[in-house]
Structure 1
């Protein structure tokens, strides 16, 4: 990477609060060129034979999947402040059912890369390996077609599509011999000819945006050039100019976690600015090296196509935003657990999501964009969406932060993979993916499976607030296969009415993995329409017999509304009616407090309150009312809801006991006693001291006295609160079972042929002389074989019990490469993809072996069930665990040594020197509670594996460094001082 010296003089600029700039000089283009080839391609309609699309079901191991890098302990801590302080109107305005929902593609590509654009008469949907075109009623006008129907060169993936509303042209790009960009001759994508430009320099994650003077393409690259601009030039007949130039720029001062995903703002409609550069935005997380505070960087690219040497990218502007955490699982690529037992899938961290949008209004210009954040301040994850609107007062003016918010889905669900845009009224629509999170109820009251949703806000709503309730676009039918998901979606605004939002997303439909389009609108449909959207007071608490009732009234109609009757009733009783005088403008809300009070004084009672408008000229009564339960909560009531540490593991010693306490009452509590016991004895009582827990909140308390778990055994730890005057003793305590495990691994390095004849059985035996009672069994196999689905792999215990590890999985894929079968794994082997590398749950149940004795002959049986393909069993490992002390043999990669060199100042070099093993390995760093703090993928550089670990921001203490695949690996302890 070319290095630019930056003068990091950060100051508050006169033109806006929360914005600073690095005082560097603008940079000119690194290169100016024309396309390597320019090809005129015929229309789709003129082709005598169309080329169908072909899926690429093997997971795409692109740059985004392998490069995340963070520093342990560095970065923002605590809960997301914006998620924790929502405005009272958040999620209270009813959303309308989508106008249209269709599946635009069935695709087994991993991921499907959904993107689409809407024009005057068509919807153009692309996916990872092709496209399909529809009319605006959802009728398909083509089959699923391959890229060769538009592009002259073959290639793969990352298709994007935009509609240039001012030029009335479609712009399509994909990766094929670099990037190819196809621009249509007119607005009919079926009958138009295409001019296709090929630029070999762009290689990964190309994202294209339309600006007034060019088509701006950002890419993921370790090279200097992060931004490319294709001249937006047309000939006299309106067709694209084959001689259009392209310029490449760096983005000075950009810092990443290893993956680059800046976005250029895309002009949503046909109202282009008359001057000013194209804004490029990217998040900067203070968990990354070289970033001091969380912020958004913004550059402006200004083109002079008459003299390209005058073209520049500005010094970066730093837009200061509220602290956020964009890192999941220490940078691990797969991190969101699917609710039906499928594999963990990607949260798409460290990525500005497609597409950042620009819109010009009479009084200002706006830019909107979003990225995923972790809103859970514990070791777990809860994905939310940080969304941002920036503004400039006039074309070419300074950009400042206007508003920001963190959207979290109801019922504790994950919300991520979002796309957003603004309609002509300044309303924001945001589509996203949602699925069950760690606290989502499983009693049927909440949606669980990954599905497509939308939310939004009206222009006059409280800043930072998505007021539209979560509204379902399409409910998924199951978990996403594999780990790769989405990569990006796309929100577009209909140019026909400038109100309709068209959102394309990925899910599993009734026929399999698919992309689904939902069309919805926020702007009013009817002249006169009002309703009560929320009951704001009273709220749950210690209530009286004379509580005031406050509601929010929303005007859903196009006309101003006045003299609106408003009603409430409690538990179906008498209706109280009063009048809100108004006036209330279209798409705005106002609070109204009734003069008549109500009795909520019975402690512990739940009251049902219904409020509504009774507007004489209302044209839609479906949105008039809302109901809310209000509870009179006792003042004093706390209890332990979980013992969060210690947890089951190997080689436990004196461990820390941490508990989670919840305040079920209506008054903040502090200074009470808590107790824990071990196996019902040896009570340890301490006072929580200054720990204060507000009503409805939880707090963590860690005992100063640890618990001795050094003996190999299973223990029960119970913890209890003792609050004076506690109203409910039934919720005071919680317990957990913790086992100190000891494990032995037994290797078989015997090589044996598999197949190739159908019915051939290959068996190898590991003889275990150690005799102990099993509590856990895991198996690692290394098999070279074409057509994995030919194989059945089984483990046979000494008593004859057979556990099926895998059967007919992997299709035509090859090999089981150090594949670990572990019954606790999140991903089933049936949901994995060949070559199988990593940790999978077997198709059978290994826990049936628990309780057996370890000694005897353990047999790995591999049956080849088809002719023609053969292979070799290279070796296998049997791991047996017990609740008793076992001697531990040499672990993973016998003959190699994991070296940790302390270079001082809590900087460590981690290396594993080997030329015998070349598979990708995972480096994981854990604290002594077993929480993963960092994950980074390592590759053999020819002499081994190497990583520089920065622990200078980590808390003092002992940490575990593990390098390996799945559960097998080399382990070292390090001490941070």
Structure 2
């Protein structure tokens, strides 16, 4: 008999949770609720076949004005003088020429706000209200598509393209104005052309227009910030969204934050490599001593721990404060017209902004995150924009962050600005950074630089490379609010960047580069683990994929794995892997992964003797045992479970199934106290029960349904 998954059903009424101190130094969520069930949207390929595809609307449009909630810059207050960590040494390494450049679009929107994400076989590029899918040679695989192709009836704009490497899925997001909130689409598979989409368009309210959204991927959620006056960060239930199920959301107040009037914090985004542990998600924002309420330049970092089972137990910490070298992030008193071109208006420097994205990577023995923002490097000689960049490290998840290195980068050409940067790390810990540049004598260009992992701290050591040069000036002060650099998940070395330039009108250009002029001779890393989440047993094979990132063939590699921090299993891979090649190895000792719904953490190490770069020897994944009913157990074959409510207290529960015996039904509160117990008798393959919850307080309750052999759980949230 073919067995079916039992899907957990979440029925909820949105209810508010007031922020209050749970313990010293933390607060709870300010809001919590359920997104409406997603709409399934067919693949782009299917829409092109059936005539429902919505082409991009290239009517010229003007972007919404930047929103400010009162300028909090105090004239005459703040740091002065030359930037103390300004890089003065000339780069010592020659940049490789770009591997690839191509234009993603000719934008009719001002600004175009480009964003893009590279996956195993595709590159997704988006701008303002449209997107297009390319292969990794830059060839278009689809026409230019309106966002309404994915989000029916809505193409309002500000999309963000994301590849979720942990799930092998793509995300497309945009904001919504009616009502104010976010739209999120998750692909049903790794092929954005031929796979469909689970689209969440309602239930994710923000109260105010969610300008300048920034999304981040973390194991326990998709997190988003936006330029809204309530200064909140939002979390949505990632595992449910990947499966196309009803998903919860929670929002948190960033306590103690100061802004310039423009609110732009950034969450840490998992880039590639080892999967981080769930929980301890971080948000970072710069704090400039030129702003009201800030005594000294510093970074603030908040830690969020989401509890999806009991939302009231979720917490956000008070901010960790990290003192930095002095910086000046203010241009022209906080206005949005700052950097002069050869002709035309001065363009926006994108001040007070952690640029898209703050990219997180886990190495052996430490976690690392890199990010940047624009600063005025030498106000004594007139404004000159440079990129202040950081690598922060922590010893383990949940531990404090500290500055490993900080620096300020300017271009090698006197008087030419560097701004609007985006950066990430590759498998070696090398940092790639792309940025925009302009001066009174040179039109806008897109450039890149980088550094190797062992180079002198605080310096970009690769000579400036060119991705694209404008042939015209921007006719508007508005310049792209977004740029986006992502790391190729296949090579884990190539950086893909998209940015705005003029050739001669407004366009978005994609450029690919790497820092491969110094490959190690000996370097192997584990890049994948099986099994994935699913029906797991007490005798699971653990299979790893080993990749040779060095230049010499490797064999006889000691490898280990452990489960949930237990005693490592140590064995030896005896095969042979050529330079640039991969191979798999299955451990002879199996793992017990049999606890239902348990999230296991599988940690592995490759311990090659003589490895030249050991930081990438560690790799981990989080794997959930999603239970499937087995023969002899309760079989909900073709089961449908319905829960309806008319007053948020009385629920009608109906189960239709081929099961033909007695089921036990019970309800528990969050402390495990049983409130309701009944035996339900099958009536024509249908079980129905009216659940009266009018006597209980608002909160989260668990429904258990089953028999003496097996129980299944669902959750209701009573308003």
Q: TM-score, normalised by structure 2?
A: 0.66
Indicate if the aligned counterparts of 1:449 and 1:476 stay in contact, CA closer than 8 A.
yes
Structure 1 counterpart of 2:213:
206
In the superposition, relative to structure 1, how do residues 377 and 230 fare at CA in structure 2: closer, same or farther (>3 Å)? same
SS of aligned partner of 1:410: coil
How much does 1:112 deviate? 0.7
Indicate if the aligned counterparts of 2:367 and 2:397 stay in contact, CA closer than 8 A.
yes
1:267 to 230, 255, 270: 270
Asked whether 1:226 is paired with 2:232, we answer: yes
Quick one: distance in 1 between partners of 2:512 and 2:399?
34
Asked whether 1:335 is paired with 2:338, we answer: yes
- Per-residue CA distance 1:127-167 (angstroms, 9 max, x = gap): 11110000111110112110111112314121101111111
- Per-residue CA distance 1:927-975 (angstroms, 9 max, x = gap): xxxxxxxxxxxxxxxxxxxxxxxxxxxxxxxxxxxxxxxxxxxxxxxxx
In the superposition, relative to structure 1, how do residues 527 and 426 fare at CA in structure 2: closer, same or farther (>3 Å)? closer
Quick one: distance in 2 between partners of 1:66 and 1:112?
24
- Per-residue CA distance 1:486-536 (angstroms, 9 max, x = gap): 1010010000010000011110125x21110110111347779xxxxxxxx
1:894-905 correspondence runs (5 A): none
2:487 to 463, 470, 493: 493
- Per-residue CA distance 1:867-906 (angstroms, 9 max, x = gap): xxxxxxxxxxxxxxxxxxxxxxxxxxxxxxxxxxxxxxxx
How much does 1:105 deviate? 1.3
Asked whether 1:520 is paired with 2:513, we answer: yes
Indicate if the aligned counterparts of 2:220 and 2:279 stay in contact, CA closer than 8 A.
no
Structure 1 counterpart of 2:76:
73
Quick one: distance in 2 between partners of 1:410 and 1:56?
39
Asked whether 1:217 is paired with 2:224, we answer: yes
SS of aligned partner of 2:85: helix
1:239 to 236, 243, 246: 243
1:373-772 correspondence runs (5 A): 373-378=375-380, 380-412=382-414, 413-436=416-439, 448-510=442-504, 512-524=505-517
Quick one: distance in 1 between partners of 2:240 and 2:38?
14
In the superposition, relative to structure 1, how do residues 527 and 318 fare at CA in structure 2: closer, same or farther (>3 Å)? closer
Quick one: distance in 2 between partners of 1:264 and 1:332?
25
Comparing 518-527 and 457-466, the one that deviates more: 518-527
Indicate if the aligned counterparts of 2:107 and 2:507 stay in contact, CA closer than 8 A.
yes
Structure 2 counterpart of 1:30:
30
Indicate if the aligned counterparts of 1:217 and 1:264 stay in contact, CA closer than 8 A.
yes
Structure 2 counterpart of 1:42:
42
Indicate if the aligned counterparts of 1:422 and 1:428 stay in contact, CA closer than 8 A.
yes
Quick one: distance in 2 between partners of 1:35 and 1:72?
44
How much does 1:203 deviate? 2.2
Quick one: distance in 1 between partners of 2:485 and 2:94?
20
SS of aligned partner of 2:419: strand
Indicate if the aligned counterparts of 2:320 and 2:400 stay in contact, CA closer than 8 A.
no
Indicate if the aligned counterparts of 1:132 and 1:142 stay in contact, CA closer than 8 A.
yes
How much does 1:458 deviate? 0.4
SS of aligned partner of 1:454: strand
Aligned length: 499
SS of aligned partner of 2:27: coil
How much does 1:376 deviate? 2.1
In the superposition, relative to structure 1, how do residues 228 and 66 fare at CA in structure 2: closer, same or farther (>3 Å)? closer
1:159-308 correspondence runs (5 A): 159-176=159-176, 177=178, 178-198=181-201, 199-201=204-206, 203-223=210-230, 226-234=232-240, 239-241=243-245, 243-308=246-311
Indicate if the aligned counterparts of 2:96 and 2:514 stay in contact, CA closer than 8 A.
yes
In the superposition, relative to structure 1, how do residues 231 and 526 fare at CA in structure 2: closer, same or farther (>3 Å)? closer
In the superposition, relative to structure 1, how do residues 394 and 144 fare at CA in structure 2: closer, same or farther (>3 Å)? same
Quick one: distance in 1 between partners of 2:265 and 2:24?
19
Indicate if the aligned counterparts of 2:19 and 2:29 stay in contact, CA closer than 8 A.
no
SS of aligned partner of 2:211: coil
- Per-residue CA distance 1:322-374 (angstroms, 9 max, x = gap): 000000011121011112x1111100001110011000011211011100001
Consecutive unaligned residues of structure 1, counting only runs of 5 or more, are: 7-22, 443-447, 529-555, 560-977
SS of aligned partner of 2:396: coil
1:774-789 correspondence runs (5 A): none
In the superposition, relative to structure 1, how do residues 527 and 429 fare at CA in structure 2: closer, same or farther (>3 Å)? closer
Indicate if the aligned counterparts of 2:38 and 2:244 stay in contact, CA closer than 8 A.
no
1:826-865 correspondence runs (5 A): none
Consecutive unaligned residues of structure 2, counting only runs of 5 or more, are: 1-16, 522-548, 553-719
In the superposition, relative to structure 1, how do residues 557 and 249 fare at CA in structure 2: closer, same or farther (>3 Å)? closer
Quick one: distance in 1 between partners of 2:20 and 2:166?
40
Indicate if the aligned counterparts of 2:56 and 2:144 stay in contact, CA closer than 8 A.
yes
SS of aligned partner of 2:215: strand
- Per-residue CA distance 1:644-665 (angstroms, 9 max, x = gap): xxxxxxxxxxxxxxxxxxxxxx
Quick one: distance in 2 between partners of 1:353 and 1:382?
18
How much does 1:454 deviate? 0.3
Quick one: distance in 2 between partners of 1:161 and 1:282?
22
Quick one: distance in 2 between partners of 1:139 and 1:383?
35
Quick one: distance in 1 between partners of 2:61 and 2:520?
52
In the superposition, relative to structure 1, how do residues 118 and 68 fare at CA in structure 2: closer, same or farther (>3 Å)? farther
SS of aligned partner of 1:205: strand
More contact order relative to length (CA 8 Å, sep ≥ 6): 2
Indicate if the aligned counterparts of 1:59 and 1:482 stay in contact, CA closer than 8 A.
no
Structure 2 counterpart of 1:130:
130
Structure 2 counterpart of 1:106:
106
In the superposition, relative to structure 1, how do residues 268 and 557 fare at CA in structure 2: closer, same or farther (>3 Å)? closer
Greater C-alpha Rg: 1
Over the residues paired in the alignment, what is the CA RMSD in angstroms?
A: 2.5
Quick one: distance in 1 between partners of 2:78 and 2:18?
24
Quick one: distance in 2 between partners of 1:487 and 1:435?
16
SS of aligned partner of 1:81: coil
- Per-residue CA distance 1:592-612 (angstroms, 9 max, x = gap): xxxxxxxxxxxxxxxxxxxxx
In the superposition, relative to structure 1, how do residues 66 and 342 fare at CA in structure 2: closer, same or farther (>3 Å)? farther
Structure 1 counterpart of 2:662:
none
